[in-house]
């Protein structure tokens, strides 16, 4: 094929010029990179070398020191199958950087660890500086806590505290006063029934610390009032099916003598309400505890009169606030309670819809 020299010669010259200019361009690019790097180093040296302050506080807590490297923290939970624990972990993740922490979760259930003791030992060995523990077994972890203290690890109990004799091995507890929740439930009945009433109690898991404290607080609030507790039955577990079976037993025994029911958890209230409706008992005053989506919806529907809400978002933030203050050299209270959200038809719009 015959080439058209009038077109190819300029193109060849252009290509040759491009090849000859590449060393010059490479030199120029290298020079510019060196200049930009030097300028960046100069400005870095003459600016603050710390990260910005966190402006977030918890209930007027201290302003946190500017953070450099984040401190390592872990949340040991009974199991993320529990909606409240899954939501708590979500809130730890959402706010941890604002308190200067990087966090991981140790889910005892999914990781197949039989005891909290082993989980605590593992986290100490891995070099975590702060351990937040949502306790399941209050016995048998003393030795692990002692080792954690010896290693200088900050221990914060979350939602459930240690036995009194072991509390010396944790730095703080953050949670709610479960006795107070029982008292608030009792006060709700007193206020709603000024002329007196007969009520029953559907308790949570038999022997569980929360169940016993709800029961104790409930009785304290009703002592000396005209509210009579006809019966109190606890369940085998925190299951709706158990709440249904317990309510069926109470209805069979007391029938329409029942004016009100105090049930220890909002999902249990679902079973209570369903069982009451099945026998045409629509006007029973039902009070539950948790403040989760189920409780809020039942209040909105008029089926549940009161949901005594536990704010796990505030609990997570308070826990991290306390840990940060200890790291900053401050002394913090050993026991720290957050308030309850009292959810009724009149107050429900004052609170954000729960995510758990």
Torsion 119-121-124-130 (CA) sign: positive
| pLDDT tens per residue, range 189-217 | 999 999 999 999 999 999 988 999 999 99
- Report the Cα 252 to chain-centroid distance in Å: 38
| Residue 27 is assigned to a structural domain of this protein | no
| pLDDT tens per residue, range 56-71 | 333 433 444 455 689 9
Q: Indicate the residue among 170, 194, 212 that finishes a domain.
A: 170
Query: Angle formed by the axes of helices 209-222 and 178-192, to 10°?
Result: 40
Same domain? 75 vs 159: yes
Could you tell me the pTM of the whole model?
Answer: 0.75
Same domain? 158 vs 188: no
Same domain? 102 vs 158: yes
Same domain? 183 vs 304: yes
Contact 69, 97 (CB under 8 A): no
Same domain? 187 vs 285: yes
Same domain? 228 vs 292: yes
What secondary structure letter does DSSP report for 165? G
| Residue 127 is assigned to a structural domain of this protein | yes
Q: What total of structural domains would you count in the chain?
A: 2
| pLDDT tens per residue, range 130-176 | 999 997 767 778 899 999 999 999 999 999 899 899 999 999 999 99
Report residue 222: phi and psi, to 5°.
-95, -5
End-to-end CA distance of the chain: 78
| Residue 145 is assigned to a structural domain of this protein | yes
Q: Beta strand 130-133 with 71-77: parallel, antiparallel or unpaired?
A: parallel
Averaged pLDDT for residues 236-260? 97
Q: State how far the Cα of 356 lies from the Cα of 293, in Å rounded to an integer.
A: 6
For residue 309 the two structure tokens come to 């809400």
- Please, which residues bridge with residue 198 across strands? 228
- Please, which residues bridge with residue 205 across strands? 235
CATH number of the domain where residue 294 is located: 3.40.50.2300
Band (pLDDT 50/70/90 cuts) for residue 7 is very low
> Is 317 buried (19+), middle (13-18) or exposed (0-12) by CB count in 10 A?
buried
The whole domain housing 253 covers 178-310+345-350
Least confident of 112-126, 184-198, 247-261: 112-126
| Residue 40 is assigned to a structural domain of this protein | no
């Amino acid at each position: 094929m015959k080439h058209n020299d009038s077109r190819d010669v300029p193109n060849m010259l252009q290509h040759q010029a491009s090849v000859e200019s590449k060393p010059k361009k490479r030199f120029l690019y290298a020079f510019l990179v060196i200049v930009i790097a030097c300028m960046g180093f100069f400005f870095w040296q003459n600016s603050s070398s710390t990260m910005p302050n966190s402006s977030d506080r918890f209930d007027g807590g201290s302003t946190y020191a500017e953070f450099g490297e984040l401190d390592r923290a872990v949340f040991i939970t009974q199991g993320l199958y529990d909606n409240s624990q899954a939501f708590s972990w979500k809130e730890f993740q959402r706010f941890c950087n604002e308190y200067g922490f990087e966090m991981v979760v140790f889910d005892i259930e999914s990781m197949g660890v039989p005891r909290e003791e082993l989980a605590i030992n593992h986290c100490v060995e891995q070099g975590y500086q702060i351990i937040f523990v949502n306790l399941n077994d209050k016995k048998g972890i003393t030795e692990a806590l002692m080792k954690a203290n010896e290693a200088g690890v900050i221990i914060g109990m979350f939602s459930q505290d240690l036995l009194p004799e072991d509390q010396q091995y944790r730095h703080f507890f953050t949670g709610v006063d479960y006795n107070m929740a029982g008292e608030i439930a009792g006060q709700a009945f007193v206020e709603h029934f000024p002329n007196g009433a007969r009520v029953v109690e559907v308790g949570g898991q038999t022997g569980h610390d929360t169940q016993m404290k709800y029961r104790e607080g409930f009785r304290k609030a009703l002592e000396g009032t005209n509210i009579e507790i006809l019966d109190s039955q606890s369940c085998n577990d925190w299951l709706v099916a158990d709440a249904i079976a317990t309510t069926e037993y109470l209805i069979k025994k007391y029938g329409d003598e029942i004016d009100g029911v105090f049930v220890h958890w909002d999902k249990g209230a679902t079973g209570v309400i369903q069982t009451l409706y099945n026998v045409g008992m629509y006007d029973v005053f039902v009070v539950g505890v948790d403040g989760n989506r189920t409780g809020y919806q039942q209040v909105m529907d008029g089926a549940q009169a009161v949901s005594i809400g536990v704010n796990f978002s505030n609990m997570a933030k308070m826990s991290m606030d306390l840990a940060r203050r200890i790291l900053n050299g401050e002394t913090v209270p050993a026991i720290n309670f957050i308030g309850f959200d009292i959810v009724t038809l009149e107050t429900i719009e004052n609170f954000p819809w729960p995510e758990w």
